[in-house]
Each structure stands twice: as structure tokens, then as C-alpha cells.
Chains A and B, each alone.
Chain A
Amino acid sequence: MTRTSEEQPLAPDWWLFIITLLLLGGGVVMVFNASYALAAEVKYTGGDPAYFVKRQALWAVIGLIGMFAAMRISYWKLAKLAVPLLLVTIALLAGVLVMGHGAQGAQRWIGYGPIKIQPSEFAKLAVVIYLARVLSARPLLVQNLWRGVVPLLGVVILFVILPVELQPDLGTAVTLLLTVLLVFYAAGAKARWMIGFLTVFALAGVGLALRHGTDGYRWKRMTTFVNPAADYNGAGYQITHSRIALGTGGLLGVGFGQSREKLKGNLPAQRTDFIFAIVGEEMGLVGTCGVLFMFSLLAARGFYVARRTRNAFGALLATGITGMISVQALINIGVVTASLPATGVPLPFLSYGGSSLVPTLVAIGILLNISRNPSYEETVARGHRRNTRRLLRTRKPSRLPAASAAYGGEDIARSASSGRRRDSQPS
């Protein structure tokens, strides 16, 4: 181990890269498979069967460019951008809320003409970066419930999650909330607090849903996954057809391209939020478990990158990104399998739509960059070294050399010269 890695970061994590490409490629194929029949039939596509897949492929290319760019930009630069990014996000979300409430009810876009962005998708990333920065800078914050966790959570909920929920975009709001709780927990917050928060939010959600009684739209939507037939034409429609798609798939599926539910008049979100149901119909349990396996691999690799990163910001950022993608996948598949109330979360990599795909790929790019610099360490201000040391007292001195060895001997060399490194960091 003679390499002085401060000039030369490691190669990105190949596993992560390959898993991402497999999911992305499979996703584009699935979008085409699930959408061509519909695209050939509806008017606004002009009868072009490849209408959706062309766009998805374009988004994939843009996303990959974003991913490579993020992979090459040193992630610690994001720490400095954390607060401005969050402020911009909050401003955009406020903008959506102010401009949005026109005739349609749900407004998630902001922009003009063809340039539209969906701030809620970027909000997830901004919040994860912000939390990683704050929690790594002040590791003791998560130790205190009322003076640390509650205020921080309150800020995130009030300025980000609530505006997202009000769009209304319940799916992103729930994804955000769960990701935030995961990051808090990873940073050291007590598990019972997180469980407590979850309970409170769940009760609050039920309470809000019941505001208009059991006949209200929200309550119906929330409970319909138990008995979709009760509200077939309302919230139950997607769930009924989604279960039919999965159920008919069986063990091996009806065969690739043979889905019936993807045809017009059956499962309407066959290319977006419910694409997983089409996977299940065409490829059966083998296909769905294959997708689950790929997401599990992605999580395993993402959390592995987080674990081995010897930098609290990087570790929390990697945890947040991996957690965010995993939570999204869990919620989506949970909804598709009628295990969770319908929320409207796209399945990362597979669902049609650039507003979800591009930020996800950028996040993977950040994760890849973190994987390139597992032991990066900045010159730490004296005042904080103390905190850091406290944090690191968890490691028994006797185990430290072994652990260091496990991460590679060059760590020590890198750390020793890290003072210089800030200026010579290649990008």
C-alpha cells in the first residue's frame, strides 16, 4: 500500500455502479414494455409506441451525465452548499405553493415552458445533505431530544415536509420523513424516540385523514388497500388491478411482454408508480424478488460505503442517500402489493419520469464520489476535534489498529497529510 491517495482518490465502487446501471437499464426496458401498448393508442403520443421510452431514455442520459458529474465533484464541497441548497429548496417549494393552487389542485411543478422542475424531488437530496452536515458538525445534537432532535426535525418538517405535503405530494412527504428519521437514528438518536415520532406522525396522519369522517377522500384512500373492491372506481381501482397483475403473474409470470394489465383500460399507472405490478405479472415472483434483490444489493453496497467512510458527513450523507432510495422502493412496492396505503411514490430507476430519475442518479453519483474517498478527512478545527474525539471514543483503542488495517494501511498516511490535501484535492 504505497499509494498516496490524497492525490488520487480510489476508483468508485464498481458494485454500486453496476447495480445502478442494471436497475437503470432494466427500468428503461420495463418502461418501454409497460408503455408501448398505451402509447400506441392514446392521442397525445401521436401513436408513437416509443413515446414514453424515448423520453425515459433521454432522462436516463441526462441522469447519467448528472451522475458522472456528481461522481467527480468532491462531496465535501456539498457541506458548504448545504444551507444555501436547503434555502433554495424552501424558496422553490414556497413558490410552488404560492403559484400552484390554480384550477388543478395538485401542483408539483415550477418553471416555464418545457423547463420544469419538481422541487420536492430535489428537496429530498437537499434535506439529506443538510442533515448530514448539521449532524456531522454537531454530533451531540442528536443526543438531546428537546433541544436537539425536536427543533431540527421541526425545522425540516415545517419548511420542507409540510409544504411538500400541502402540494399535495403525500408520497414524497412520507419518504422524506422516514429518511430523516433514519438519518437521525444513524447519527445516534435513540431508537425509541424515532419509534415515538413515527407513532405520533402515524396518529396525526390518521387524525387528518379522519377530519372529514370515514367517508372522506383521504380516509378512503388510506384504508382502501385493505379492501379495494369497496371503492373500485376510486382509490381501490389501482390496487385492485395491481393485485390482479401480481396475482396472475404467479411464480414465473405470464411471459415478458405478455401483460394484460398494462393495456389501456386496466392499470392506468402501469409505466409509473405501478410498474412493479407489471414486472410481477410478466415475470412472476422470480421477477419481483429479483427486483427486491437488486434493491437489497444496492442498499447493502450503499450502506457499506457509508460504513467504511471515515468522515461523519460522508457517512451520514451516504446513509441518507441509500436510505432515501431504499425507503422510496419500500413504500412503492408496499403500495403496489397493497401492504401500505396508497401514497404515490415512484419506484427508483424503474418508474417512468425524469423528475424522479435524474435526482436519483445524481444522488447515486454523490454516493459514488463518497465511495471514492472513504478515508477523506479535513483539517479539523480545534474546537471540534474534541467533539470528534468524543464521538470516536466508542472505538476501543485496542481495536483501532485492526480496524484501520481493515480499511487499508494508507488511511494513516492519508490522515497524516490531510492538512495539505484540501488544496490539492483533485476533482
Chain B
Amino acid sequence: MSVETTHSRYSSNRSAAATASAGTRRVGAAQAPDVATVRLPQRIFSVFLLVLLGYVALAGRLAYLQVVQHAQYRAVAEDLRERTRLIPARRGVLLDRSGALLVRNEQAASIVLDPNQWYVTTVKGAKTAPLLDTPEMRREAALKGLAEHLPGVDMAALARKLGGKTATGKLRTIDVRRVVDQATADRIAAANLPGVGVLPTTRRVAMNGGLAAHLIGYTDIDGKGLEGLERELETTLRGKPGLLEAEFDGGRRPIPGTIRREVPEQPGRDVLLTLDATLQHDVQTALRKAYVESRADAATAIVLDPKTGDILALANYPTFDVNKRNEFPASFRANRAVTSPYEPGSTLKVVTVAAALEEGKVTPSSMFFCGGSQKIGRRSIRCAHGAKHGSENLTDVIRDSCNIASAGMGRLLGKETLWEYERRFGFGERTECGLPGESRGLLAKPERWSDMQLANVAFGQGISVTPLQLAAAYAVVANDGVYLRPRIVWGTRNADGSDLRPSQPSEARRVVSPEVARQMRQMLQTVVDSGTGKAAAPDGYTAGGKTGTAQVAENGSYRSGKYVASFIGMAPARDPRFVILVSVTAPKGSYYGGTVAGPVFREIVEKALIARRTPHDRPSSSGSGKAKTRKPGKLKPDWDA
């Protein structure tokens, strides 16, 4: 037995043999197999070679993937994960002259949808809604949830955008809504919608959306200024976004050690405006009342500090709410105070008179004669309402707004000189106050003036000016004859309040002598005390000003019925702290500047003077019961000669 098995290269297991059935043995016997071919060691070697062949083939495949295609896959990988991320810089805020916040950045969120997340099998332990087993169900749930929480979103458009793919086949993440408020964002985050991401961002919010809306303007959804100071101050406010060049992991965080370049962001600088928020509010209240009561087409008010050119308040009606700007017609957003020139009419006579005084063509005691009308060439000019002013001095010309006498002074000055003075008072050029969309107005070259136009310009026609230009021109009178460009930016500072940089004061330009300016103020006071501007007289203060009732030129002709009623004045009359312009376009009912715009001036100037703690320079009605029935014209002006 043992001898036999000695020859056996292989032995069978005995127990296996015992269980082998007879049938199988028969098979073996019947088949009479070609046992000579059965060579176990060789077969095992063949199997080994087969396996080895597999490994060699895989090695070849790996060489192809890792060496031949290396560059290609590295590019794909960099495409997938290496990116430059911009770190948004904080946008500077707008503050009023005393540091009160006008516009701020509010914490908000943007909602994005990453459809790839629908296909990610949930990791063990991270329990989400149990009924969302398939991508289709997750898609359904996400879209339904978004429609529920964001009623305004166009779900059909969203669904169309969902199919986009990148080169690797990855589905594109889409913006559902760029900015939502924090409360909505919190609700969406709490809903845990599949694939829906809530990313922090900020949105621009005005503290009081209706306050100084035309000045502040607004930004687009990305925080880029579109209108108003937001647009004009873009470079200052914007700051510089930071840069992060790195690889980002699945959670969109930079992978440590992969950061190639990191440039910290530079926050934008805050801007302090010359605006006085309280005064602005008062101006808007007063102006709105007039705008509504007179059912006017439009109304504008400007308050300037004549000593600095600071725009303390500036309002237009109709206006809008910065925070809900889409609810208002686009025309409401026009800042008429700087964009809409109009024919100023009588208010411009101040320039003519001041020029004539400065040039020595007239003196305060010069006498004029008005016959009601005067022929110039083949046409004639006349005083308003068919008035004949007869014999009058310079003060009377201003107080009664005599066209004939003004035209006479214009003739005395000549085209060149009058044009020169118009320019020196700031007309025909932008004020460069820092507000966008400013108009130059319309001031033709004197060479092209006819004699008729010379006369017209002298009493405020044939020239168009913006309300701000006009206010700045009156500020010359208030500022002892020196022109200052109006300005809206008081200064800038860093986000933390450091590095306060006041804006450059504009160069002063002498237009008329202090004496002429004083004489002008004196004349303007008589308008308020006893002329057309009585309704503008503030309680307890002296004031000077000029009314204007100009016809609106439409398509080159003066259509009857549409007037711009305006009043431009200053107070206190002797040493004005405020220059205030009020103009009301196309009021229904009374259209005289004195009656429509005068009371608005009065309301504004009283509040402004009291707020500045200005001492009264004449009896106040609150000081004596008698003064309530005072007649301003009867009071003697208190000029020290």
C-alpha cells in the first residue's frame, strides 16, 4: 500500500473518497477520460500566469491613466477644485454730517441650489427626511419647499436652469435668489431642503428708505452703486475685495496648505455727507405738504450753508423709497434738483442787479422808469400782469420784480458782461457738487445773443438753470460775494472711524464785492418784509429772498397754465446761515412763488434756525402776543450802514 502511494504525486482524501458515490465512479469509468491531459501543477501554473497577465494589464492601464493622461486629469481636478475666490469687502456706509447712519449693510442670505446633492447617498447617521430616498423625491421636495418659502421665485424658469452641466458632467449650482432677508433664510435653513444652500451675504438697507432717497440712491443686488451717491461714491465705498487662491474641499472651505495666494480684503471707506438728517426730514415734511396741497407736478427744496457750500438738505417730490424702489415709477427717481434745468424767471434778476451794482452801472439810489412795456426791435417786453411800475429805485425793482428795469440794466451791462456774470454766479457749468447726473443748464454764448435775448436773460428767460445752480448763486449773495461750489461729501473715514479725511474745500471765487452782496441782501429783505415774499417771513428772524413765477417752456413755447412757483431766500438776512430754495412746478390753484413756495421756505427756515440755536434778530410771536399780528413790511430793517 505504502509502496503504491509512494508513486502517487497526489493523494485523494480518504473521507472524500468514502462519500464519493458509485455513480460518479461510473462516469469516470464510462468516460475513460484522457487522464494524460490532467496535469494539476501545470494547470496551477497556467492559473498563475493568467492572474499575472491580469496584473500586468492593470499595470499598463495604470501607466496610461497616471502618466499619459496625467496632465489631462490634473487639469480636470484643478477645474473641479482649484479656484480663486473673491472675498467681498464691506461696503462703506453713508452717514450724515453728525454721524447718523443713513445707509447700512444688513446681514442677509443668498439661496443657492446644488442639484448634485440630490444624488449623494446620505451618510450613515446623518438623518434627513426618511421619505426622500430617490433623487426625484429630493428634487420634488426641494422645489416644493422653495416655492413655499420664496413665493416670488419663477419655479418654471428655475426648473429649466437645473439641467446645466460642467465638463466633468457635474450639474451646475444655480442661484435661486441672490438676497433674502435673514428671517426667510433661517426658515429655509430650518426646512433642511435637499440641495438648498443658504449662504451669508449682506444687503444694502437705508435706515429710512424715504429720507434723501434722491441723494442716497441705491445699489444693484451685488452691491454696486446704480444711482445717487451710491453710484457717485462707488470707488470710495466699494473697497477692494480680497482674494483667496486655494483648493476648496467639499464643504467649500480652503484646504490647509493649499492656499497659494491670499490678499486680504480692504473694506470700503465710510462717507460722511454734508446732509443734516433732521433738517432733511423737516424739509421733506414741509415740501411734501406743499406738493400735496397744491397738487403740483413736482417740487424741489434745497438748503445750503452759504459759508461752506454744504448741501444741508435736498429733497424732490415726487420721491421714492430706496428700500422699495421697484414699487415706484422710474420718473420718481429723478433728482430734479440737479438734473432738470428750468427757466428761473424773476429769481435771476438778482444776478443782473448785482452785476450792475458791481460794475458801477447803477447805485442803490439809481432811479428807473417802467411804462409796462418796451419795444426791443420788432417785439416788445412787458412786466408781468400788465403792471406799470412807473418811477422806481433799485430796491423797488427787486421787490416788484420789474422786467423793464431789469432789461435796462442788462442793456447797460452789455451781452459780454452779463454773460460773464452769469458764469461767475455759476450758471452754464456743472456745480460739481458730487451728485451724479448733473445738468449744466443752458446758457448760450453772448455772441449768439440777440438784443431780445439780452433783455430776456436779464429778467430770467432764455436761460435755464438747475435749482442747485440757482441756490448756489444766491449763496454768493449770502456769503459776501464769494462763490463756493456746493458739496455733498463732507469727508470720508475708515470703517472703524479712523483716518478721517475731510473733503477738499472748493476754491472760493469772488463774484461781487462784500458791499454789493450786503446791498443785495438788504434789497432781498424788503421782498420778504414788504414785497411778494411776505408769506416767507420767518417768525423771530429777518430773512431776504426773491420770488419767482416762471412760465414753463414746453416745445419752445410758453403754454399758459404751467408755472414754476419758486422762492429763494436766506436767513438771518444780515448774516445768513442758510440759503433755501423752494420751487413748485405746475401747482394747481395759486401759482405765485410767494404764496406757494414762500410758506414752505418759512417752515423750513424756522426749523433750521431754531435747530442751530440761532438767536432771534427780531421779535418773535412766541415772545410777545402782539407780534402775532405783526405786519412784516412795517418793521424797519435793522441795517447798520
List residues of A whose CB falls within 8 A of some B CB: 41-44, 76, 79-80, 83, 133-134, 136-141, 143-144, 147-148, 182, 185-188, 228-234, 236-237, 240, 243-244, 246-251, 260, 263-266, 268, 280, 284-285, 288-289, 292, 295-296, 299-300, 303, 306-307, 310-313, 315-316, 319, 323, 326-327, 330, 333-334, 337-339, 377-381, 383-385, 387-395, 397, 400, 403, 412, 415-419
- Are B6 and A384 neighbours in the complex by a CB distance under 8 Å? no
- Are B8 and A415 neighbours in the complex by a CB distance under 8 Å? yes
B313-342: CB near A (< 8 Å → 1, else 0) gives 000000000000000000000000000000
Cα of A318 to Cα of B239 in the assembled complex, Å: 73
Q: Is B27 an interface residue (CB 8 A)?
A: yes
- Are B55 and A186 neighbours in the complex by a CB distance under 8 Å? no
6 closest Cβ pairs, A-B complex: A265-B250, A247-B73, A44-B125, A137-B16, A232-B169, A140-B28
Number of A-B residue pairs, CB cutoff 8 Å, is 304
Known: A137-B16, A140-B33. A247 touches B62 (CB 8 A): no
- Are A400 and B7 neighbours in the complex by a CB distance under 8 Å? yes
Q: Is B624 an interface residue (CB 8 A)?
A: no
B72 nearest CB across to chain A (Å) = 7
A130 nearest CB across to chain B (Å) = 11
| Chain A CB within 10 A, most for which of B16, B54, B135 | B16
Q: Is B412 an interface residue (CB 8 A)?
A: no
- Are B165 and A232 neighbours in the complex by a CB distance under 8 Å? yes
- Are B17 and A246 neighbours in the complex by a CB distance under 8 Å? no
- Are B126 and A334 neighbours in the complex by a CB distance under 8 Å? no
List 8 additional A-B contacts (Cβ < 8 Å) besides A240-B168, A312-B40: A137-B16, A143-B35, A228-B169, A266-B249, A323-B51, A381-B12, A387-B17, A394-B38
* Other-chain residue from B2, B52, B70, B81 in contact with A415 (beta carbon distance below 8 A): B2
- 5 cross-chain CB contacts under 8 A: A244-B77, A248-B74, A285-B63, A306-B44, A381-B18
* Other-chain residue from A147, A284, A289 in contact with B27 (beta carbon distance below 8 A): A147
Q: Is B378 an interface residue (CB 8 A)?
A: no
Task: Select from chain A the residue with minimum beta-carbon distance to B117.
Answer: A233
Q: Is B557 an interface residue (CB 8 A)?
A: no
Q: Which of B208-267 contact A (CB under 8 A)?
A: 247, 249-251, 255
- Are A416 and B2 neighbours in the complex by a CB distance under 8 Å? yes
- Are B116 and A139 neighbours in the complex by a CB distance under 8 Å? no
* Other-chain residue from B20, B59, B77 in contact with A289 (beta carbon distance below 8 A): B59
* Other-chain residue from B6, B52, B55 in contact with A412 (beta carbon distance below 8 A): B6
* Other-chain residue from A134, A143, A248, A380 in contact with B77 (beta carbon distance below 8 A): A248
Point out the residues of chain B lying under 8 angstroms from A285, CB to CB. Answer: 62-63, 66-67
Q: Is B19 an interface residue (CB 8 A)?
A: yes
Point out the residues of chain B lying under 8 angstroms from A234, CB to CB. Answer: 119
Cα of A25 to Cα of B233 in the assembled complex, Å: 65
- Are B35 and A393 neighbours in the complex by a CB distance under 8 Å? yes
B70-104: CB near A (< 8 Å → 1, else 0) gives 10111011001100000000000000000000000
Q: Is B132 an interface residue (CB 8 A)?
A: no
- Are A377 and B5 neighbours in the complex by a CB distance under 8 Å? yes
B377 nearest CB across to chain A (Å) = 84
Point out the residues of chain B lying under 8 angstroms from A316, CB to CB. Answer: 40
- Are A79 and B16 neighbours in the complex by a CB distance under 8 Å? yes
Cα of A212 to Cα of B85 in the assembled complex, Å: 44
* Other-chain residue from A41, A188, A397, A417 in contact with B2 (beta carbon distance below 8 A): A417
Cα of A127 to Cα of B429 in the assembled complex, Å: 99
- Are B15 and A330 neighbours in the complex by a CB distance under 8 Å? no
Q: Is B504 an interface residue (CB 8 A)?
A: no
B44-70: CB near A (< 8 Å → 1, else 0) gives 111110111011011101110111011
Known: A244-B76, A377-B5. A295 touches B10 (CB 8 A): no
- Are B38 and A243 neighbours in the complex by a CB distance under 8 Å? no
- Are A288 and B66 neighbours in the complex by a CB distance under 8 Å? yes
- Are A307 and B45 neighbours in the complex by a CB distance under 8 Å? yes
B368 nearest CB across to chain A (Å) = 88
- Are A387 and B12 neighbours in the complex by a CB distance under 8 Å? yes
Point out the residues of chain B lying under 8 angstroms from A292, CB to CB. Answer: 55, 58-59, 62
B159-174: CB near A (< 8 Å → 1, else 0) gives 0000001011111000
Q: Is B9 an interface residue (CB 8 A)?
A: yes
Cα of A93 to Cα of B41 in the assembled complex, Å: 34
Task: Select from chain B the residue with minimum beta-carbon distance to A105.
Answer: B133
Point out the residues of chain A lying under 8 angstroms from B28, CB to CB. Answer: 138-141, 143, 387
A314 nearest CB across to chain B (Å) = 9
Point out the residues of chain B lying under 8 angstroms from A288, CB to CB. Answer: 59, 62, 66
- Are B249 and A263 neighbours in the complex by a CB distance under 8 Å? yes
Cα of A403 to Cα of B42 in the assembled complex, Å: 13
Known: A137-B19, A285-B62, A296-B52. A315 touches B35 (CB 8 A): no
| Chain B CB within 10 A, most for which of A240, A316, A378 | A378
Point out the residues of chain A lying under 8 angstroms from B24, CB to CB. Answer: 138, 140-141, 148
- Are A380 and B80 neighbours in the complex by a CB distance under 8 Å? no
Task: Select from chain B the residue with minimum beta-carbon distance to A400.
Answer: B7
Q: Is B43 an interface residue (CB 8 A)?
A: yes
- Are A390 and B35 neighbours in the complex by a CB distance under 8 Å? yes
Cα of A236 to Cα of B629 in the assembled complex, Å: 92
- Are B43 and A186 neighbours in the complex by a CB distance under 8 Å? yes
B438 nearest CB across to chain A (Å) = 52
Q: Is B622 an interface residue (CB 8 A)?
A: no
- Are A313 and B5 neighbours in the complex by a CB distance under 8 Å? no
Q: Is B123 an interface residue (CB 8 A)?
A: yes
| Chain B CB within 10 A, most for which of A42, A230, A231, A337 | A337
| Chain A CB within 10 A, most for which of B14, B58, B170 | B58
B31 nearest CB across to chain A (Å) = 5
- Are B10 and A249 neighbours in the complex by a CB distance under 8 Å? no
Point out the residues of chain B lying under 8 angstroms from A312, CB to CB. Answer: 10-13, 40
Cα of A82 to Cα of B487 in the assembled complex, Å: 99
Known: A186-B47, A390-B35. A136 touches B123 (CB 8 A): no
